[in-house]
Amino acid sequence: MTYSENLWLYFTLLFGIIIVPGMDMVFVLANSLTSGRRAGMAATAGIMAGGAVHSLYGAIGVGLLATLLPALFNPLLFIGAAYMAWIGYTLIASSITVSSVEGGTSGSGWRAFRQGTITCLINPKAYLFMLAVYPQFLKPAYGPIWLQGIVMGLMTMATQAAIYGTIAVTASRSRTLLISNPSATILVGRIAGGLLVAIAILTAWHGWRAPT
């Protein structure tokens, strides 16, 4: 797999994960509905800042592993692939819906930004992504880990901006889509789960083929 193919695969999975309704999405929607578009965009910026922090510690962890304990890289890759497949299975088996929109607070854009950052940093979905998915796409064969981390971090922030920013701008329609059409959110969750399982299999296959 070339580096470009690796990035496209990462983006496909990243998009599928971010678009699944969760804490971050509901927080942006709630701020947009209760405090206006500006608060929604500030919340989006805060979540992007939290995503940058997640990307930073993910790249540092993989870089240290590849440098200090290279013999453990492939075994942990297989463990991560198995964990990723399990997460995908749970998404396929579950029925994700958003029954209500809560958590919006009136106040300044700075407050929405700060709370958005905290929401992202405590989001369990983000930690699962960074522990099980993110390391699969950072590989020494593609060059410096820190540079790959920057590229993938920017991709993560851009995808968050596109999805959550759109929700902030079209808050009323987003609310209708998420709440009034539960079948749509269930379908999105199951598609994302299928992507996770497929990429877990592909990751394990490439790890098995890689020279030891």
- The per-residue pLDDT of the chain, averaged, comes to 76
Residue 211 has pLDDT above 60, yes or no: no
- H helix intervals, 69-144: 73-93, 109-121, 124-128
pLDDT at 212: 47
- In the chain, where do the E strands start and end? none
pLDDT at 101: 53
Q: What angle do CA 49, 53, 56 make, to 5 degrees?
A: 135
pLDDT at 31: 79
For 205, the token pair is: 């296959």
Residues whose CB falls within 8 Å of the CB of residue 139, separated by 6 or more in sequence, listed in order: 6, 148
Overall average pLDDT of the 127-155 stretch: 81
The per-residue pLDDT for range 50-87, each reduced to its tens digit, is 888 888 877 777 666 656 555 655 666 677 667 667 76
Residues whose CB falls within 8 Å of the CB of residue 182, separated by 6 or more in sequence, listed in order: 95, 97, 98
Mean pLDDT lowest among 39-43, 48-52, 139-143:
139-143
Overall average pLDDT of the 34-55 stretch: 87
Confidence of residue 144 (pLDDT cuts 50, 70, 90): confident
d(CA 169, CA 37): 6
For 160, the token pair is: 């968050």
d(CA 21, CA 137): 24
